[in-house]
Amino acid sequence: MTRPAVGRLAPSPTGLLHLGNAWAFLLAWLSARSQGGRVLLRMEDLDPQRSRPAFADAILQDLKWLGLDWDAGPDTCVAAGAEAALGPLVQSRRGHIYAAALARLEAAGLTYPCFCSRKELRQLASAPHLGEEEAHRADPCRNLDTAERERLLAAGRHAALRLRCPEEAIAFDDEIMGPQLFAPGDFGGDFALRRSDGVMAYQLAVAVDDGLMGVTEVVRGRDLLPSTPRQLLVMRSLGLAAPRYAHIPLLLDAEGERLAKRHASLSLAALRTQGVAPARIVGYLAELAGINPSGAPAHPRELVGCFSLKALPRADMRVMEEDMARLFGEH
């Protein structure tokens, strides 16, 4: 039986949203809504060093300004009914949920503490006698005996907790990128579920959240493709149902660099301040997505009926100066 569609927008409040984020969130939103599905907004503020509450507030404001909405998010009351099962939609408030998942993986013998420093791991990965296939298993902590592990932990050594990856390759079908096959060596092998400073790792949190929140589809930038086999492994290990994945092409600047937070002039806040109407941005992004050939201004709601992931180009796209000039044109 197919589950009703549940999509999610999962911003990290480490900066202001830019045009590239708007592109990914618009497509994720359209994909869920075009199936009559629900949209969750999950604030991914896991990293205390990089996350700022002010960015989280600005992100909510920017998404609403663009015309995107959500059925549950950090700003909605999730205390009642079906929403209660979701728990808080802010990762920094879900520590107990991640800890419980981690405890299950530990109890199943699927994890091990890794005492290596970053430098030691880098050296291991580049050791000339190891092929890529072997490097991911070269971590000496993988095979420490219990007594040695206990000794290091008792001595107060900080350890990351890693998932012991199986030998087999992970296969999945990406809605856009097609069939994928990742051997453990392709995604770096045993990966951290909890960092050595105690912060839960992105891979664990996202997999647990997507699984427990009943997300049926993940639409996100193709830069996150190599995270997918890791997240699938976590979900499988925990017996959680996995979503479908659609990794979309990226927006690049005129030099071919991926749009990022450093492109301050392309932040939605900057565009708004300069008087660019949100419908223009949405119309332009929809044109890139192949569903609005004229590029005419549009509200996301108006695009729901014509949306199809199939119309999406497969290659990354450059945002050129003339495109920007159009955004800033008469309105």
List residues near ligand GLU by CB under 6 A: 10-12, 44, 206, 220, 224
Nearer to ligand GLU, 89 or 141 (CB): 89
| Cα 299 to Cα 187: distance, rounded to the nearest angstrom | 38
Strands (E), 27-132: 38-41, 111-114
Amino acid identity for residue 237 in this structure: S
Could you tell me where the beta strands, DSSP code E, fall in the chain? 6-9, 38-41, 111-114, 160-163, 170-174, 178-182, 192-194, 217-221, 244-248, 251-252, 317-318
For 76, the token pair is: 């909605």
Q: Closest approach of Cβ 197 to ligand GLU, in Å?
A: 19
In whole angstroms, the minimum distance from the beta carbon of 91 to ligand GLU comes to 9
Q: How many CB atoms lie within 10 A of CB 36?
A: 9
Contacts (Cβ under 8 Å, ≥6 apart) of 81 = none
CB 319 within 8 A of CB 259: yes
Rounded to a whole number of angstroms, the minimum distance from the CB of residue 11 to ligand GLU is 5
Shortest separation between residue 329's beta carbon and ligand GLU, angstroms = 30
Of 218 and 282, the one with the shorter C-beta distance to ligand GLU is: 218
Q: Are strands 178-182 and 170-174 parallel, antiparallel or unpaired?
A: antiparallel
Contacts of 215 (CB under 8 A, 6+ apart): 6, 7, 8, 40, 209, 243
Pick the closer one to ligand GLU by CB: 10 or 285.
Answer: 10
How far apart are CB 14 and ligand GLU at their closest, in Å?
A: 8
Nearer to ligand GLU, 206 or 271 (CB): 206
**In terms of CB distance, is 209 or 323 closer to ligand GLU?**
209
**261 an active-site residue?**
yes
Among candidate residues 64, 119, 261, 310, the one labeled active-site is 261
Beta bridge partners of 171: 181
Catalytic residues: 261
